[in-house]
Structure 1
């Protein structure tokens, strides 16, 4: 069964002469429990697709459905109980004057949960931090710890689909593997579906079942991860991307 369907998605910024078409006719689907990757160079439209899904890029046309229900121009509150996003820069996505407890507690309160104390502790345990980090502030955390808090915040509403926008690219290489392994474990434990943006093919090869290759706002090819590992791309650009990754 499909968790997310995207059909003929166009996303643009500006209007008239200033209009920039960032995504052109993107079509793909993400199965329930699948991890699907979007890869390509910077500026190819990968992150813009995630922003269109969440409503952060409001100028779009085409059709998107979530668990069989159409995604409209306005997202109801229930949408964000099902879909959450983890951003690239964990420092920019956390409020500098809010403690970890406030970040998680306010998210839980916003989504109508009552047993907030218990849930905050469990979320911290689930992302490998524990209670000792509960009352710390972002500036007191390392990059990897901040990203764990950002992941905990995304998990708070108990979503089914996580949108991952280059979740490790702002981190030290030594920490990247830890975060990727955490995400893989969480997917298995919670039955999550992932839509992951990355420019790093090795990350996508480790995390994803299938991937779409993007160039200049268009999807040029969809591959499964076995074809990626065997270097079996058909489109010229996909072949170049694979060769460059070596």
Structure 2
């Protein structure tokens, strides 16, 4: 059964209605690395729109540019052009504290993203101190509870935690400033299969509890089928297709590349894409 016209959108075309309701909108984003003759364009004219409370997935194989898009949004990449809007307001290249209160990012490797000599308490409390929050002790304890860890974990070091526990701490850190948008860069790919579902379910619960908007990068279509409402498929730095996840479950994608991704995905089975 072919995908309906309403389920598929042209990657570079955004309707006025969609744009008006967008919490995060990326327009014609280009990202570059290197200088002079070695200058390389990693992202080419990417445009996507993410609605308030939505969960948007960006998928593609390694090197497709999907993680670079997130890094440009959160300010970790300096050489970019195009437009990044939050609630209709353009984001400048230089980010401020207000931006950090709006958007936070959870990285792929929870061990690498946590300072090995900092306790969980310090990891969680430092952003609060930097931004002038009060009631720090209570906020730290609530954050640990939100991610399924108790007060017993507060003064542990990263090496004393399992991979899943470290990622829960990383998620708690991202929530400390009460952001409205979370950027999730392959948040379960470094974890054992046995704990991946736990972390994905945690993200789903936190999205409802805190009314969060997600942009998730992954190479695994089973993950976006579980987590996301809509996906953009990237290849060679470009968005080749944007489609509704329900259409992905039940229909044939428009592009041959997306069809190949479906076949290659570990989750390409009845549980995720067939009849339930």
RMSD: 0.7
Query: Which residue of the partner structure matches residue 110 of structure 1?
Result: 130
Conserved in 2, the CA contact under 8 Å of 1:47 and 1:197?
A: yes
Deviates more, 1:13-22 or 1:216-225: 13-22
Query: Which residue of the partner structure matches residue 29 of structure 1?
Result: 49
CA distance in 1, matches of 2:75, 2:180: 17
1:128-169 CA-partner distances (Å, limit 9, x unpaired): 001000000000000000000000000000000000000000
Tell me the matched-pair count: 246
Q: Which ranges of 4 or more aligned residues in structure 1 deviate by more than 6 Å? A: none
Conserved in 2, the CA contact under 8 Å of 1:231 and 1:239?
A: no
Which one of the candidate residues 133, 147, 154 is aligned to 1:134?
Answer: 154
1:106-131 CA-partner distances (Å, limit 9, x unpaired): 11111211100000000000000010
CA distance in 2, matches of 1:224, 1:232: 12
CA distance in 1, matches of 2:48, 2:71: 16
CA distance in 2, matches of 1:20, 1:235: 26
Which one of the candidate residues 59, 76, 92 is aligned to 1:56?
Answer: 76
Give the TM-score taking structure 1 as reference length: 0.99
How far off is 1:15 after superposition? 1.6
How far off is 1:68 after superposition? 1.0
Which one of the candidate residues 35, 38, 41 is aligned to 1:18?
Answer: 38
Which one of the candidate residues 140, 156, 159 is aligned to 1:120?
Answer: 140
- 5+ residue gaps, structure 2, are 1-20, 269-276
Does 2:187 align with 1:167? Answer: yes
Give the TM-score taking structure 2 as reference length: 0.88
1:207-222 superposed matches below 5 A: 207-222=227-242
How far off is 1:74 after superposition? 0.6
1:229-244 superposed matches below 5 A: 229-244=249-264
Which one of the candidate residues 244, 248, 251 is aligned to 1:224?
Answer: 244
1:214-246 CA-partner distances (Å, limit 9, x unpaired): 000000000101111014210111111112223
1:170-181 superposed matches below 5 A: 170-181=190-201
1:148-195 CA-partner distances (Å, limit 9, x unpaired): 000000000000000000000000000000000000000011100000
CA distance in 2, matches of 1:188, 1:158: 14
Which one of the candidate residues 31, 45, 51 is aligned to 2:65?
Answer: 45
